[in-house]
Structure formats: structure tokens, C-alpha cells
Amino acid sequence: MLKRIILLLIVPLFMLSGCYYGNTGADAERPEYVVAIHGGAGWITPDRYSDEEEAAARAKMNEALEAAEAVLKNKGHAVEAVEAAINILEDSPIFNAGKGAVLTADGTVEMDASIMNGKDEQAGAIAGVKHVKNPISAARLVMEKSKHVMLSGEGADKYAAENGLDTVPNHYFITEKRAKNYNKNHPDKEPIHKFGTVGCVALDSEGNLAAGTSTGGMADKEYGRIGDSPIIGAGTYANNETVAVSATGHGEYFIRFSVARDIHSMVEYNRWTVERAADFIIHRKLKYYDVNGGVIVMDRNGKIAMPFNTPGMYRGFIKSTGERDVKLYGEEK
């Protein structure tokens, strides 16, 4: 209770300390398109990766950005760009999504994903799937073809297969690295990735925002655990009038605090910039509760914020102006 009272006092003080900014507004100069991606936040430090591993991660992030850019250059919708980028990340064993996802306590892979269209606020999500090759594509299928927002487990896998998406045996997702670090094989070893996710936010030439998130969830998760990634308003959110958000971190808290929707609300109601809203959530609210994670946020004019409170976060962006960057570690120039 004391923490909640203190936090309620912090918010107005934060607004009065020079952080109450007007929204960037429709008059701001907007690039033709912008894409930003993340590949998870966590204990990502240079000493944990070989030069080859680091180079491979950077190359795959760039490949994902370029896949999304190819869509947007051809006047494709932001939703298509988000799916294209995340498909690349899901197919790579480097990240905790799709192939290379962490193992559950039972030694299997269970995946979650969601996508949201900022134009009409339609959304789709899948949770606990074991066979659909690209969960983000299944989430888009749910959004565009079904009358529901979320499908889970066997039903979601079945729906994906019946509608022509590729499905694979569960062992397809299990890599040698994940199997080697499976806790039941090494009960005294801390898992390399307690949590992780990949995500993308995009702005297209028509001014549409979209966001998507895909994950294998927490390592050693039990009982069909579902995190924030498939929860609209927690791990994913998009609205053309405000922001597109994709989150990564300790999902239970991101769900409790409705992180993605909270950032949207700060922009919509407080008129904060995306930088201030995202910074407050990640570096003040979540950190106050000792919650680790990060977000990528984009406003309706293509302004980007990518804060995280862990040692590193895979992150990058590309713009129609030619600007682009990919980073892995904190304080990386």
C-alpha cells in the first residue's frame, strides 16, 4: 500500500518537473515510413557473446528491419511490415520466439503472440501453441479471419492449420542450445533466459501504426503459463492517434500494470511524448517494483523510444530517411 501511495505522488511530480509535453501532433514532419524492432531485454552483455554470435544477432536484426522496409517501400500496410519482421526473428534460433524458444518445465515449447492494427484497433492473439511455425502469422489470422481476439492451445494450432498456415512437430522449435540448458538436465543451473520476446512497431505511408509481439515465454514455465505478449494492452498495443507498443520483460507484472495501454494513456490523456511516457513506465514505475524489461514505442509521427532497465536489449530501427541502427547492449554508441 505504501508503494502505491508513493507512486501516485510521483506521477504528478513527474508531470510538474518539466515532463509535461504536448503531443508531437499532426503538424510534425513525418517520415514516409518507420520500423523499430526488439529481440528481448535481459542480461545481454558483451562478455556473454562471442564475436561470431554478436555478428549473427546484428545481421538477423538488420534482416528483419529490411524485410519490414521492403513491405513499406511498396506501400504495404504497417501490419504486413510487422508480420514480415517478426517472421524473420521467429525463424532464427538466436531469439526466444519460434525456433529457438525456451523450454517449459515439461521440456516442450509453448509460444504466444499478438498483433494490433492501429487504424481500426482490431487485434488478434494466440497463446500456448505448440505447432504453428510462425505464431505472429497465426495472431494476424485470428485478427483478420476469426470473430475472436485470442485463441489458445490445441484450438489455436488447429485453426492455424485449417487456414493454411505451416505447422511443424514441436521438436522443430527445440535447438541444441535450449536443450543443453534445460533445467531438468542441469537442476542447479540458472536458466540463460528467464524471459524474452521479439517485437516490432511500424508506421506506414498512410499514417497507420501497428504493433506485434511473439515469444517462447519464461524458461521452465509450468501449467500452461501465459505471459504478457499475447495480452492486448499489456505486451502489445497500437492506436493511430497515439502510439504503437511492443514490450519485453517479466510478463506477470506487465499484465498487472497494463504496460502497453498505460503508455498509450499517458500520451493520449497527459499529452506526454513517447520518450517521457516510456521512460516513466520502464525506469520509474517498473523499476520501483524491481521489475525488469523494456519497450519499443512509436508515435503517430514516427518518433521512437526504446528504454530498458536491464544490461541490454536487442533493438533497432530503420526509416525512409535512410537513418538506421541496431544495438544490443546498454550505453552502446
CB-based burial of residue 290 (10 Å sphere; 0-12 exposed, 13-18 middle, 19+ buried)? exposed
Distance (Å, rounded) from C-alpha 76 to C-alpha 309?
34
| Per-residue CA distances from 73 to 34, 70, 87, 138, 235 (Å) | 10, 5, 18, 24, 27
To the query of whether residue 197 is one of the catalytic residues in this protein, the response is yes
Query: Cα 163 to chain center, whole Å?
Result: 25
Distance (Å, rounded) from C-alpha 279 to C-alpha 286?
10
The answer to whether 312 and 329 are in contact (CB under 8 A) is yes
Helix 78-90 vs helix 135-145: angle between axes, to the nearest 10 degrees?
150
Selecting among 197, 215, 236, 273, the annotated active-site residue is 197
Known catalytic residues?
A: 197
